[in-house]
Amino acid sequence: MTAERRRPKSKSSAKPRAEELTLTIDRIDDDGLGLATHAGKPVVVFDALPGEKVVVRVVHAGRHRIVASTQRVLQPSHDRIAKTSCPHYRACQSCALLSWKYDTQLACKSTRVADALAAYPSLLEVALNEVWAAPETLGYRASAKLVVARKRGKAQVGMYRRGSHDVVDIADCPLHHPLINRIAAVVREELDRRNISAYDANHRRGLLRYLLVRVSPTYDKAMVTFVTSERNYREVTHLAKWLQRKVPEVISIHQNVNSSSGNVIFGRETFKVLGTPDLIDKVGDVRLRLGPTSFLQVHHAQAARIYRLVRDWCDLQADESVLDLYCGVGGISLHLASKAHQLLGVETVAEAVRHAQANANMNGFTNCKFVAGDVEIILADDLPLTGKLGAVVVNPPRSGCTPQVLTAIATLQPRTLVYVSCHPASLARDLALLVEQGFRVDEVQPVDMFPQTPHVENVVRLTFALI
Protein backbone atom coordinates (compact mmCIF):
# COMPACT_ATOMS: atom_id res chain seq x y z
CA MET A 1 0.00 0.00 0.00
CA THR A 2 1.44 3.26 -1.02
CA ALA A 3 1.57 5.86 1.75
CA GLU A 4 -0.44 8.96 1.01
CA ARG A 5 1.72 12.01 0.65
CA ARG A 6 0.61 14.84 2.93
CA ARG A 7 0.23 18.11 1.24
CA PRO A 8 1.85 20.99 3.05
CA LYS A 9 -0.59 23.53 4.41
CA SER A 10 -0.86 26.51 2.20
CA LYS A 11 0.24 29.78 3.67
CA SER A 12 -3.21 31.21 3.03
CA SER A 13 -4.81 28.70 5.40
CA ALA A 14 -2.67 29.77 8.36
CA LYS A 15 -4.01 32.43 10.68
CA PRO A 16 -2.55 35.75 9.54
CA ARG A 17 -0.13 37.35 11.95
CA ALA A 18 -1.25 40.70 13.36
CA GLU A 19 0.52 43.59 11.68
CA GLU A 20 3.05 45.54 13.71
CA LEU A 21 3.87 49.21 13.21
CA THR A 22 6.51 51.53 14.63
CA LEU A 23 4.96 54.87 15.55
CA THR A 24 5.69 58.11 17.37
CA ILE A 25 2.80 59.26 19.56
CA ASP A 26 1.72 62.85 18.96
CA ARG A 27 -0.87 63.34 21.72
CA ILE A 28 -3.68 61.54 23.55
CA ASP A 29 -7.43 61.59 23.06
CA ASP A 30 -10.21 62.06 25.64
CA ASP A 31 -10.10 58.35 26.46
CA GLY A 32 -6.42 58.52 27.43
CA LEU A 33 -5.29 56.67 24.29
CA GLY A 34 -2.26 57.68 22.27
CA LEU A 35 -2.76 59.17 18.81
CA ALA A 36 -0.41 58.75 15.85
CA THR A 37 -0.70 58.62 12.06
CA HIS A 38 0.06 55.82 9.60
CA ALA A 39 -0.58 55.83 5.85
CA GLY A 40 -2.74 58.92 6.22
CA LYS A 41 -4.98 57.34 8.86
CA PRO A 42 -5.19 58.16 12.58
CA VAL A 43 -3.99 55.35 14.83
CA VAL A 44 -5.43 55.00 18.33
CA VAL A 45 -2.99 53.22 20.66
CA PHE A 46 -3.57 51.81 24.14
CA ASP A 47 -0.71 52.35 26.63
CA ALA A 48 1.22 55.04 24.81
CA LEU A 49 2.30 58.45 26.12
CA PRO A 50 2.86 61.59 24.06
CA GLY A 51 6.35 61.69 22.53
CA GLU A 52 7.00 57.96 22.86
CA LYS A 53 8.28 55.81 20.01
CA VAL A 54 6.48 52.47 20.23
CA VAL A 55 5.97 49.21 18.39
CA VAL A 56 2.24 48.48 18.25
CA ARG A 57 0.11 45.53 17.23
CA VAL A 58 -2.85 46.37 15.01
CA VAL A 59 -6.07 45.20 16.64
CA HIS A 60 -8.44 46.56 14.02
CA ALA A 61 -7.78 48.28 10.71
CA GLY A 62 -10.88 50.19 9.69
CA ARG A 63 -11.61 52.35 6.70
CA HIS A 64 -11.09 55.58 8.61
CA ARG A 65 -8.85 54.68 11.56
CA ILE A 66 -6.60 51.98 13.02
CA VAL A 67 -6.85 50.64 16.57
CA ALA A 68 -3.66 49.25 18.10
CA SER A 69 -2.01 48.25 21.36
CA THR A 70 1.56 48.91 22.45
CA GLN A 71 3.85 45.87 22.32
CA ARG A 72 7.24 47.48 23.01
CA VAL A 73 8.32 50.96 24.02
CA LEU A 74 11.44 51.93 22.08
CA GLN A 75 11.78 55.45 23.49
CA PRO A 76 9.82 55.75 26.76
CA SER A 77 8.54 59.02 28.15
CA HIS A 78 10.03 60.19 31.44
CA ASP A 79 6.39 60.29 32.63
CA ARG A 80 6.00 56.51 32.33
CA ILE A 81 6.31 54.41 35.49
CA ALA A 82 8.54 51.34 35.47
CA LYS A 83 5.82 48.81 36.34
CA THR A 84 2.04 49.05 36.63
CA SER A 85 0.19 47.86 39.73
CA CYS A 86 -2.21 45.59 37.80
CA PRO A 87 -1.45 42.26 36.10
CA HIS A 88 -4.64 42.63 34.02
CA TYR A 89 -3.74 46.07 32.67
CA ARG A 90 -3.08 45.12 29.04
CA ALA A 91 -5.90 42.57 28.85
CA CYS A 92 -8.59 44.72 30.47
CA GLN A 93 -7.53 48.18 29.19
CA SER A 94 -10.01 49.95 31.50
CA CYS A 95 -7.42 52.15 33.23
CA ALA A 96 -5.74 53.96 30.37
CA LEU A 97 -3.45 56.09 32.57
CA LEU A 98 -2.21 53.36 34.92
CA SER A 99 1.29 53.47 33.42
CA TRP A 100 1.53 57.25 33.93
CA LYS A 101 3.12 59.04 36.88
CA TYR A 102 0.37 60.55 39.00
CA ASP A 103 1.51 64.17 38.60
CA THR A 104 1.38 63.66 34.83
CA GLN A 105 -2.16 62.27 35.11
CA LEU A 106 -3.23 65.45 36.89
CA ALA A 107 -1.57 67.66 34.30
CA CYS A 108 -3.30 65.70 31.54
CA LYS A 109 -6.68 66.21 33.17
CA SER A 110 -6.05 69.92 33.63
CA THR A 111 -5.18 70.23 29.94
CA ARG A 112 -8.33 68.35 28.99
CA VAL A 113 -10.50 70.83 30.93
CA ALA A 114 -8.58 73.83 29.59
CA ASP A 115 -8.97 72.62 25.99
CA ALA A 116 -12.71 72.12 26.47
CA LEU A 117 -13.12 75.68 27.78
CA ALA A 118 -10.90 77.14 25.06
CA ALA A 119 -13.32 75.93 22.38
CA TYR A 120 -15.65 78.82 23.38
CA PRO A 121 -14.46 82.47 23.12
CA SER A 122 -16.64 83.53 26.06
CA LEU A 123 -14.76 81.11 28.35
CA LEU A 124 -11.18 82.03 27.44
CA GLU A 125 -10.65 84.15 30.57
CA VAL A 126 -12.25 81.72 33.04
CA ALA A 127 -10.15 81.04 36.14
CA LEU A 128 -9.12 77.37 36.10
CA ASN A 129 -7.76 76.10 39.41
CA GLU A 130 -5.26 73.28 39.84
CA VAL A 131 -6.76 69.79 39.86
CA TRP A 132 -7.45 68.48 43.35
CA ALA A 133 -5.34 65.36 43.67
CA ALA A 134 -6.94 62.29 45.21
CA PRO A 135 -5.66 61.14 48.62
CA GLU A 136 -6.15 57.55 47.46
CA THR A 137 -5.12 56.64 43.92
CA LEU A 138 -5.66 52.88 44.36
CA GLY A 139 -8.32 50.89 46.21
CA TYR A 140 -10.70 53.85 46.07
CA ARG A 141 -13.63 52.50 44.06
CA ALA A 142 -16.52 51.87 46.45
CA SER A 143 -18.76 50.28 43.81
CA ALA A 144 -18.23 47.92 40.89
CA LYS A 145 -20.29 46.42 38.07
CA LEU A 146 -18.66 43.13 37.15
CA VAL A 147 -19.57 40.93 34.18
CA VAL A 148 -20.06 37.19 34.66
CA ALA A 149 -19.16 34.69 31.93
CA ARG A 150 -17.63 31.28 31.32
CA LYS A 151 -14.59 30.39 29.23
CA ARG A 152 -13.66 26.78 28.65
CA GLY A 153 -15.93 25.86 31.53
CA LYS A 154 -14.32 28.20 34.07
CA ALA A 155 -16.23 31.05 35.70
CA GLN A 156 -15.06 34.56 34.80
CA VAL A 157 -15.91 37.60 36.94
CA GLY A 158 -14.46 40.80 35.60
CA MET A 159 -14.67 43.48 32.94
CA TYR A 160 -15.28 43.70 29.24
CA ARG A 161 -12.07 44.25 27.33
CA ARG A 162 -12.08 47.75 25.86
CA GLY A 163 -14.15 47.92 22.69
CA SER A 164 -15.37 44.31 22.90
CA HIS A 165 -17.69 41.86 24.65
CA ASP A 166 -14.79 39.62 25.64
CA VAL A 167 -14.80 39.23 29.43
CA VAL A 168 -11.43 39.55 31.18
CA ASP A 169 -11.37 37.72 34.50
CA ILE A 170 -10.13 40.16 37.16
CA ALA A 171 -8.79 38.35 40.20
CA ASP A 172 -7.72 41.41 42.17
CA CYS A 173 -8.42 44.86 40.73
CA PRO A 174 -6.10 47.46 42.32
CA LEU A 175 -8.69 50.22 41.90
CA HIS A 176 -11.46 48.38 43.74
CA HIS A 177 -11.97 48.55 47.47
CA PRO A 178 -10.46 45.33 48.92
CA LEU A 179 -13.90 44.14 50.04
CA ILE A 180 -15.09 44.16 46.42
CA ASN A 181 -12.21 41.90 45.42
CA ARG A 182 -12.96 39.50 48.28
CA ILE A 183 -16.62 39.26 47.27
CA ALA A 184 -15.77 38.69 43.59
CA ALA A 185 -13.36 35.89 44.52
CA VAL A 186 -15.96 34.08 46.66
CA VAL A 187 -18.63 34.39 43.96
CA ARG A 188 -16.24 33.04 41.32
CA GLU A 189 -15.37 30.08 43.57
CA GLU A 190 -19.01 29.24 44.22
CA LEU A 191 -20.00 29.53 40.56
CA ASP A 192 -17.46 26.84 39.77
CA ARG A 193 -18.28 24.72 42.82
CA ARG A 194 -22.00 24.59 42.02
CA ASN A 195 -21.56 24.92 38.25
CA ILE A 196 -24.01 27.83 38.11
CA SER A 197 -24.53 28.94 34.53
CA ALA A 198 -23.41 32.33 33.26
CA TYR A 199 -25.44 34.22 30.69
CA ASP A 200 -24.35 33.79 27.07
CA ALA A 201 -25.51 36.79 25.05
CA ASN A 202 -24.92 35.03 21.71
CA HIS A 203 -27.24 32.14 22.53
CA ARG A 204 -29.42 34.05 25.02
CA ARG A 205 -29.19 31.41 27.71
CA GLY A 206 -27.65 31.07 31.15
CA LEU A 207 -28.54 32.58 34.52
CA LEU A 208 -26.06 35.04 36.01
CA ARG A 209 -25.26 38.19 34.02
CA TYR A 210 -23.65 40.70 36.38
CA LEU A 211 -22.33 41.00 39.91
CA LEU A 212 -22.83 44.45 41.41
CA VAL A 213 -21.09 45.35 44.65
CA ARG A 214 -21.44 48.53 46.68
CA VAL A 215 -19.21 49.08 49.72
CA SER A 216 -19.48 51.51 52.62
CA PRO A 217 -15.83 52.36 53.38
CA THR A 218 -16.96 54.12 56.55
CA TYR A 219 -18.64 51.10 58.08
CA ASP A 220 -16.84 48.32 56.12
CA LYS A 221 -20.12 46.76 54.98
CA ALA A 222 -21.31 45.77 51.52
CA MET A 223 -24.43 45.33 49.41
CA VAL A 224 -24.45 42.80 46.58
CA THR A 225 -26.86 42.54 43.65
CA PHE A 226 -26.96 39.53 41.33
CA VAL A 227 -28.37 40.45 37.92
CA THR A 228 -29.93 37.35 36.38
CA SER A 229 -31.74 36.52 33.16
CA GLU A 230 -34.73 35.08 35.02
CA ARG A 231 -36.24 34.89 38.49
CA ASN A 232 -34.40 31.97 40.02
CA TYR A 233 -34.93 31.58 43.73
CA ARG A 234 -33.02 28.36 44.41
CA GLU A 235 -29.63 29.06 42.83
CA VAL A 236 -29.51 32.72 43.85
CA THR A 237 -30.47 31.97 47.46
CA HIS A 238 -27.80 29.27 47.74
CA LEU A 239 -25.25 31.67 46.27
CA ALA A 240 -26.34 34.44 48.66
CA LYS A 241 -26.11 32.22 51.74
CA TRP A 242 -22.65 30.98 50.73
CA LEU A 243 -21.48 34.55 50.18
CA GLN A 244 -22.70 35.76 53.58
CA ARG A 245 -21.07 32.77 55.25
CA LYS A 246 -17.70 33.48 53.60
CA VAL A 247 -17.88 37.31 53.74
CA PRO A 248 -19.97 38.40 56.75
CA GLU A 249 -19.45 42.07 55.85
CA VAL A 250 -22.08 41.52 53.14
CA ILE A 251 -25.24 42.62 54.93
CA SER A 252 -27.60 43.09 51.98
CA ILE A 253 -28.14 40.85 48.94
CA HIS A 254 -30.58 41.47 46.09
CA GLN A 255 -31.54 39.91 42.79
CA ASN A 256 -32.36 42.02 39.75
CA VAL A 257 -34.04 40.30 36.82
CA ASN A 258 -32.98 41.45 33.35
CA SER A 259 -34.38 39.27 30.57
CA SER A 260 -33.58 41.74 27.78
CA SER A 261 -31.13 40.99 24.99
CA GLY A 262 -29.43 44.39 25.09
CA ASN A 263 -26.48 45.79 27.06
CA VAL A 264 -28.54 47.53 29.75
CA ILE A 265 -27.40 46.19 33.13
CA PHE A 266 -30.57 46.53 35.20
CA GLY A 267 -33.99 45.06 34.54
CA ARG A 268 -37.21 46.44 35.97
CA GLU A 269 -37.65 44.10 38.94
CA THR A 270 -35.42 43.87 42.00
CA PHE A 271 -36.00 41.45 44.90
CA LYS A 272 -34.35 41.36 48.31
CA VAL A 273 -32.82 37.93 48.89
CA LEU A 274 -31.10 38.20 52.28
CA GLY A 275 -30.22 40.82 54.85
CA THR A 276 -31.20 44.46 55.03
CA PRO A 277 -33.01 46.24 52.19
CA ASP A 278 -30.47 49.10 52.07
CA LEU A 279 -26.85 49.93 52.80
CA ILE A 280 -26.06 52.78 55.18
CA ASP A 281 -23.02 54.83 54.24
CA LYS A 282 -21.54 58.15 55.28
CA VAL A 283 -19.99 60.69 52.94
CA GLY A 284 -18.74 63.94 54.39
CA ASP A 285 -21.11 65.18 57.07
CA VAL A 286 -24.19 63.11 56.24
CA ARG A 287 -25.34 59.52 56.41
CA LEU A 288 -26.91 58.07 53.27
CA ARG A 289 -29.27 55.15 52.75
CA LEU A 290 -28.50 53.48 49.42
CA GLY A 291 -30.45 50.94 47.37
CA PRO A 292 -29.24 48.47 44.73
CA THR A 293 -29.62 50.96 41.87
CA SER A 294 -28.67 54.18 43.72
CA PHE A 295 -26.00 56.38 42.19
CA LEU A 296 -23.18 57.69 44.36
CA GLN A 297 -19.72 58.92 43.43
CA VAL A 298 -17.19 56.08 43.60
CA HIS A 299 -14.44 57.99 45.45
CA HIS A 300 -15.76 58.85 48.91
CA ALA A 301 -12.96 61.20 49.98
CA GLN A 302 -13.21 63.27 46.79
CA ALA A 303 -17.02 63.26 46.88
CA ALA A 304 -16.92 64.67 50.41
CA ARG A 305 -14.60 67.47 49.23
CA ILE A 306 -16.98 68.30 46.38
CA TYR A 307 -20.00 68.38 48.71
CA ARG A 308 -18.24 70.78 51.08
CA LEU A 309 -17.07 72.99 48.21
CA VAL A 310 -20.60 73.24 46.80
CA ARG A 311 -21.89 74.24 50.25
CA ASP A 312 -19.16 76.87 50.65
CA TRP A 313 -19.71 78.32 47.19
CA CYS A 314 -23.48 78.56 47.64
CA ASP A 315 -22.83 80.58 50.82
CA LEU A 316 -26.49 80.45 51.80
CA GLN A 317 -27.99 82.95 54.22
CA ALA A 318 -30.56 81.93 56.83
CA ASP A 319 -33.48 83.28 54.78
CA GLU A 320 -32.36 81.79 51.46
CA SER A 321 -33.57 78.61 49.84
CA VAL A 322 -31.68 76.40 47.40
CA LEU A 323 -32.68 74.29 44.39
CA ASP A 324 -30.70 71.08 43.76
CA LEU A 325 -31.29 69.66 40.26
CA TYR A 326 -30.41 66.04 39.45
CA CYS A 327 -30.04 65.54 43.20
CA GLY A 328 -29.80 61.72 43.25
CA VAL A 329 -30.05 60.30 46.77
CA GLY A 330 -29.30 63.70 48.29
CA GLY A 331 -25.55 63.74 48.97
CA ILE A 332 -25.13 67.40 47.95
CA SER A 333 -28.63 68.35 49.09
CA LEU A 334 -28.11 67.34 52.68
CA HIS A 335 -24.84 69.26 52.90
CA LEU A 336 -26.80 72.34 51.81
CA ALA A 337 -29.82 71.74 54.05
CA SER A 338 -28.01 72.72 57.25
CA LYS A 339 -27.51 76.24 55.86
CA ALA A 340 -30.75 76.72 53.90
CA HIS A 341 -34.19 78.03 54.79
CA GLN A 342 -35.56 75.33 52.49
CA LEU A 343 -34.06 72.83 50.06
CA LEU A 344 -35.90 71.52 47.02
CA GLY A 345 -34.32 68.56 45.25
CA VAL A 346 -35.40 67.41 41.78
CA GLU A 347 -34.48 64.02 40.31
CA THR A 348 -35.76 61.98 37.37
CA VAL A 349 -35.42 58.61 39.15
CA ALA A 350 -38.30 57.99 41.55
CA GLU A 351 -36.38 55.48 43.68
CA ALA A 352 -33.58 58.01 44.21
CA VAL A 353 -36.13 60.57 45.38
CA ARG A 354 -37.52 58.11 47.93
CA HIS A 355 -34.02 57.51 49.24
CA ALA A 356 -33.26 61.25 49.31
CA GLN A 357 -36.31 61.94 51.47
CA ALA A 358 -35.44 59.02 53.75
CA ASN A 359 -31.90 60.35 54.02
CA ALA A 360 -33.15 63.80 54.99
CA ASN A 361 -35.28 62.22 57.72
CA MET A 362 -32.41 60.02 58.91
CA ASN A 363 -30.16 63.08 59.26
CA GLY A 364 -32.85 65.09 61.06
CA PHE A 365 -33.55 67.68 58.35
CA THR A 366 -37.14 68.89 58.21
CA ASN A 367 -36.59 71.64 55.63
CA CYS A 368 -36.11 69.32 52.62
CA LYS A 369 -38.55 68.43 49.87
CA PHE A 370 -37.74 66.12 46.96
CA VAL A 371 -39.66 65.83 43.70
CA ALA A 372 -39.46 63.11 41.05
CA GLY A 373 -39.91 63.98 37.39
CA ASP A 374 -38.40 65.53 34.30
CA VAL A 375 -36.27 68.49 35.37
CA GLU A 376 -37.28 70.60 32.38
CA ILE A 377 -41.00 70.08 33.04
CA ILE A 378 -40.72 70.74 36.78
CA LEU A 379 -38.81 73.98 36.19
CA ALA A 380 -41.57 75.13 33.85
CA ASP A 381 -44.16 74.87 36.67
CA ASP A 382 -44.47 76.85 39.87
CA LEU A 383 -41.76 75.45 42.13
CA PRO A 384 -42.91 74.40 45.64
CA LEU A 385 -40.18 76.55 47.13
CA THR A 386 -40.53 79.06 49.95
CA GLY A 387 -38.14 81.83 50.85
CA LYS A 388 -35.77 83.76 48.62
CA LEU A 389 -33.88 81.63 46.09
CA GLY A 390 -30.22 82.08 46.89
CA ALA A 391 -28.59 79.35 44.84
CA VAL A 392 -29.16 76.61 42.28
CA VAL A 393 -27.01 73.49 42.04
CA VAL A 394 -26.96 71.23 38.98
CA ASN A 395 -25.26 67.83 38.77
CA PRO A 396 -26.53 66.42 35.47
CA PRO A 397 -25.59 63.17 33.72
CA ARG A 398 -22.64 63.02 31.34
CA SER A 399 -24.65 64.57 28.50
CA GLY A 400 -25.18 67.79 30.48
CA CYS A 401 -28.29 69.99 30.59
CA THR A 402 -30.70 70.77 27.81
CA PRO A 403 -30.85 74.40 26.62
CA GLN A 404 -34.39 74.56 28.03
CA VAL A 405 -33.14 73.70 31.52
CA LEU A 406 -30.39 76.31 31.33
CA THR A 407 -32.85 78.96 30.15
CA ALA A 408 -35.22 78.09 32.98
CA ILE A 409 -32.41 78.44 35.54
CA ALA A 410 -31.53 81.87 34.15
CA THR A 411 -35.19 82.90 34.42
CA LEU A 412 -35.02 82.14 38.16
CA GLN A 413 -32.08 84.56 38.49
CA PRO A 414 -30.36 82.87 41.44
CA ARG A 415 -27.54 84.80 43.08
CA THR A 416 -25.23 81.80 42.64
CA LEU A 417 -25.23 78.76 40.37
CA VAL A 418 -22.93 75.80 41.09
CA TYR A 419 -22.51 73.30 38.26
CA VAL A 420 -21.02 69.85 39.01
CA SER A 421 -19.99 67.92 35.89
CA CYS A 422 -18.29 64.65 34.98
CA HIS A 423 -17.67 65.57 31.32
CA PRO A 424 -15.58 68.62 30.30
CA ALA A 425 -17.02 68.93 26.76
CA SER A 426 -20.68 69.05 27.77
CA LEU A 427 -19.76 71.31 30.70
CA ALA A 428 -18.02 73.86 28.45
CA ARG A 429 -20.95 73.82 26.03
CA ASP A 430 -23.40 74.51 28.87
CA LEU A 431 -21.23 77.21 30.45
CA ALA A 432 -21.12 79.09 27.14
CA LEU A 433 -24.93 78.98 26.98
CA LEU A 434 -25.20 80.18 30.58
CA VAL A 435 -22.94 83.15 29.80
CA GLU A 436 -25.33 84.05 26.99
CA GLN A 437 -28.17 83.87 29.54
CA GLY A 438 -26.54 86.43 31.84
CA PHE A 439 -24.25 84.38 34.09
CA ARG A 440 -20.58 85.06 34.79
CA VAL A 441 -18.25 82.08 35.28
CA ASP A 442 -16.19 82.84 38.40
CA GLU A 443 -13.97 79.76 38.71
CA VAL A 444 -13.61 76.12 37.79
CA GLN A 445 -12.31 73.53 40.24
CA PRO A 446 -11.28 70.21 38.63
CA VAL A 447 -11.32 67.20 40.97
CA ASP A 448 -9.62 63.86 40.32
CA MET A 449 -12.46 61.49 41.13
CA PHE A 450 -11.06 58.64 39.00
CA PRO A 451 -7.28 58.20 39.37
CA GLN A 452 -5.61 55.98 36.73
CA THR A 453 -8.30 56.93 34.18
CA PRO A 454 -8.71 60.04 31.99
CA HIS A 455 -11.99 61.06 33.66
CA VAL A 456 -12.13 64.32 35.59
CA GLU A 457 -14.91 65.92 37.63
CA ASN A 458 -15.41 69.69 37.71
CA VAL A 459 -17.19 72.08 40.07
CA VAL A 460 -17.98 75.52 38.65
CA ARG A 461 -19.17 78.65 40.47
CA LEU A 462 -21.25 81.12 38.48
CA THR A 463 -22.85 84.42 39.45
CA PHE A 464 -25.93 85.88 37.83
CA ALA A 465 -24.39 89.08 36.47
CA LEU A 466 -27.63 90.90 35.58
CA ILE A 467 -28.86 91.31 39.16
Please give the domain boundaries of the chain with CATH numbers for all domains: 17-80 (2.40.50.140), 115-135+299-464 (3.40.50.150), 143-280 (2.40.50.1070)
Q: What is the pLDDT of residue 261?
A: 82
Residue numbers annotated as active site:
422
Integer Cα distance of 226 and 254 in angstroms: 6
This prediction's pTM = 0.92
Give the model confidence (pLDDT) of 2-53 as tens digits. Answer: 344 444 454 444 555 678 999 999 999 999 999 999 999 999 999 999 999 9
For residue 375, pLDDT over 90 is answered with: yes
In order of 294, 387, 415, the CA distances from 276 in angstroms are 15, 38, 42
Residue 328, classed as helix, strand or coil, is coil
CB 102 within 8 A of CB 137: yes
Residue 121 phi, psi dihedral angles, 5° rounding:
-55, -35
Give the model confidence (pLDDT) of 289-316 as tens digits. Answer: 999 989 899 999 999 999 999 999 999 9
Give the model confidence (pLDDT) of 426-467 as tens digits. Answer: 999 999 999 999 999 999 999 999 999 999 999 999 999 865
CB neighbours of residue 260 within 10 Å: 13
DSSP labels, 50-84? TT-EEEEEEEEE-SS-EEEEEEEEEE--TTB-SS-
Integer Cα distance of 297 and 276 in angstroms: 22
Q: What is the pLDDT of residue 17?
A: 65
